[in-house]
Structures are given as C-alpha cells and as structure tokens.
Amino acid sequence: MSAVTRPPVDEAVLDAIDTFCRETLEPLAAEVDAKGLFATCHLPALAGLGIMGLNLPAEYGGAELDAFTLFEAIARIAGACASTASMVTAHFLAADSIRFGGDEAQKARYLTGAASGERLGAFALTEPGAGSNPLDMTTLARREGDGYRLKGVKHFISNAGAADFLVVYAKTDPQAGAKGLSAFVVEPGEGVSVGPAERTMGLKGGHVFEVALDLHVVEASRLGPEGSGFRTALKTLDPGRLDIAACAVGIADAAFARACDWANSRKVGGAPIAEFQGLQWMLADMATDIAAARGLARLASEKRAAGERFSLEASMAKLYATEMVARVADQALQIHGGYGYMSDLPLERYTRDARVLRIFEGSSEVQRNIIARYALADNAPRPVGR
C-alpha cells in the first residue's frame, strides 16, 4: 500500500533489491537471528549488487543513488533482514566520514574498496561512557613522532569484528571542546583489539563490538585538519539518521504487510478478522503512521537531494520513524494474537529489531533536543520551508 505520493525513484535498482530480498535475505533472516550469524554472510551478494556503494559517488565506483531511491533501498533491505541493513548502514557511516572529512588520497584509498564491498567499514564514535554526547569521550590522540598515539576504548561498534577499516574519533585537544575532536582512519592490526560480539536483544546478525585502541597512527591517517572531527561527525550523522529512519520504515512496512495478510486469512466465527471494525481501525492507524514517517523522510530527502543542510529534518524523520515502528510492530503482533508471539513468525523479531533504532545515531531524547534547539533559535529554519 502507498498512502503518499512518492517522488521518482530508480525502479530498476529497487526491482533488483526486491528480488535479492525475496530470494536471499528473507529466507535466511530467521536463521541469522536464531543463530546470531553475522550478516557479513551476505556481503559477497550485497557487493555483487553494488549495495555497499549505494551512498557513494560514481567517481569511486559508487551507485550515486538519488536520496529518494537510497531511502527506499535501505527500507526494503531492513524489511527483509534488519540485521543486514544495520551492517550496511554502519558501513555507510564509515565511508561517509571519509567522503566528508578526508582528502583525495584518503578517498581514493578507501572509498573505491568500500563501494565495491571489498573493504568493510566501521564507525567508531561511541564509548562506554560517551554515547549521546561525543564530547564526553576519553579516547585521546596525542602527538607522538610523525603522528599520534591513539589510545582509548570504543563500544557498540557495528562491523568492527570484520572491518577492513575503522573511522575512529578521538580528542586531539581535550581543552578545546568541539574544536578538539579529530577523526582518524585505522586499519586492523597491532594495537587494535576487538572483543567478542555483544549479546543483544535484537539485530542479532548486526554484530556490535568493543574496540580497545593503543597504537601509533601517522598524520596522513587523520581526516581533515586537526579539530575538524566534530564537524565531520555531525555531517555524517545527518544521512545516518535518515538511514535509520529508512530501517524503521522498512520494518514497519514488513510488519504491516504481515498484519494485513493475517487479517484477511484468519477467521473467527467463520468470518475474516479483517471484517472487525476494531481491527480495521488498528490497520488504519498503522497505515497512517507509516505514511507520516515517509512524509517526514521525504522532507529530509528533498533537502538532501538539493544539497541543503537537513539536520532538522533528519532528526524529525529519525525520531518519528523509530517511535512509529515500535507502535506498528506491536500492533501487528497483537493482530496475530498468540501466533505473533511465537518465533515461527517474524513479528516478535520485528519488535526486537526495532527497539534499538530509538537509540542508534542519537537517542530519541537527543533528537528532541536537536529539534527544540532549532525551534527556539532566532530565525530558525522550518521543516516545511515557511
């Protein structure tokens, strides 16, 4: 069902992704979840379809998708296997950090491999004591010889156990606040210790890890000027938040489709439960919720496509979509009754997978803070262009 008019998208790309989701991702999603298989098992197929470079410019071998098609592509992958979408979007964060903060040599070295899927990236910002506020981080990069001594611990880092490169954020000047943060590209090896995959409630195939760092990095590994890391992180998180909104919409789409099918086929007293008004109202609320989330994402995508800043719109889309999917997944499970609670059907997996989306890339509370700052600022930009 499509309750809103969608902008033009690349139907050929989406058709190919739909086929891949239907033939490869969906049949294995339950096994990936049950066994905790790392979603990198799909990496060769994802690479063959060009999915790992959907966000990157053509000059580096990327697909250079328009913002609207990119959103729908991520949504469809998430609807089939949210763990796979988590791996892919974490890779996008690492690649985008280099795209936005790196020089041409760094882009040439890493982005071509990232686009082809030959090199998997990880985005290492969060720490055990610094999640929502990166300025609380304790990882330091102190001058040492021809570079820096990079030392600290990162936590909940997606893809780190299989990453070919990590973008690590650290303080180069602890006294300078936001201007004291820098980003570095680090490759696995001595001085980079990755712990076992964490045990999580959902996204069991989208593995996250703790990473301990104590190594020397050369100055050429730093992305951009010293002190530019905070700006790079913010610029990277805008598309990242829109990607998480896409994951939420994709899971909600899948849950809603299941609920509609069940309502039409499940009978009580000889009649499909779809004929019950109370259930129809539940489906109506779900459809409206999903359409509203897509509408907010479209506002963000329009600004993204125009090359304008879309921080406010990305926060709104991320906030609404990730809270929306919790409602929709729960209602879809309720419509299935006891069957929805069984792991034989994907409803309980949708519910578990959706939960962390309110935490990823800035919690719902952080998004509200961002939106409020815009609302209270003088000459504040408005999400609908007023």
pLDDT of residue 386: 45
Q: Which residues pair with 272 in a beta bridge?
A: 267
Q: Partners of 169 in the beta sheet?
A: 183
List the structure tokens of 1: 């069902």
Q: Other CB atoms closer than 10 Å to residue 248's CB: what's the count?
A: 32
Q: Are strands 147-158 and 208-218 parallel, antiparallel or unpaired?
A: antiparallel
CATH number of the domain where residue 18 is located: 1.10.540.10
Q: Which domain holds residue 204?
A: 121-228
Res 131: pLDDT: 80
Residue after which a domain boundary falls, among 166, 196, 228: 228
The C-alpha torsion from 194 through 199 and 204 to 208, rounded to 10°, is -30
Q: Decide if 5 is inside a domain.
A: no
Supply the pLDDT for residue 6.
Answer: 61
Residue 3 inside a domain? The answer is no
- On the CB side of 10, how many CA atoms lie within 13 Å of its CA? 15
Q: Give residue-wise pLDDT tens across range 1-11.
A: 444 456 788 99
pLDDT in tens, 240-269: 999 999 999 999 999 999 999 999 999 999
Query: Is 182 within a domain?
Result: yes
In angstroms, rounded to a whole number, what is the distance separating the alpha carbons of residues 382 and 20?
A: 38
pLDDT of residue 243: 98
Divide the 386 residues of the chain into consecutive groups of 10 and give the mean pLDDT of each group.
64 97 98 97 97 97 96 98 98 98 97 98 95 90 97 98 98 97 97 97 98 98 98 97 98 98 97 97 98 98 96 98 98 98 97 97 96 86 55
**Choosing from 72, 127, 348, 361, which is the catalytic residue?**
361
Final residue belonging to a domain, choices 116, 144, 170: 116
This prediction has a pTM of: 0.95
In-domain check, residue 4 = no
**Does residue 53 belong to any structural domain of this protein?**
yes
Determine how many CB atoms are found less than 10 A away from the CB of residue 338. Answer: 6
To 10 degrees, the CA torsion angle through 20, 22, 28, 30? 140
Q: What is the CATH number of the domain that holds 155?
A: 2.40.110.10
**CATH code of 312's domain:** 1.20.140.10
Question: What pLDDT sits at residue 384?
Answer: 55
5-64 residue pLDDT tens: 567 889 999 999 999 999 999 999 999 999 999 999 999 999 999 999 999 999 999 999
Active site residue 361: yes
Query: Do both 270 and 372 map to the same domain?
Result: yes
| Same domain (yes/no): 243, 343 | yes
Sign of the alpha-carbon torsion through 302, 5, 320, 200: negative
Q: Say yes or no: 265 and 363 in one domain.
A: yes
Q: Is residue 381 part of a domain?
A: no
34 and 143, same domain (yes or no): no
Chosen domain end from 116, 150, 171: 116
Do 236 and 160 reside in the same domain of the chain? Answer: no
Structural domains in the chain (count): 3
Q: What is the pLDDT of residue 105?
A: 97
Judge contact between 259 and 332, C-beta under 8 A.
yes
H/E segment holding residue 92: helix 82-101
| 384 domain residue, yes or no | no
Same domain, yes or no: 197 and 289 = no
Give CA–CA dist 271/242, Å, rounded: 41
- pLDDT on residue 1: 47
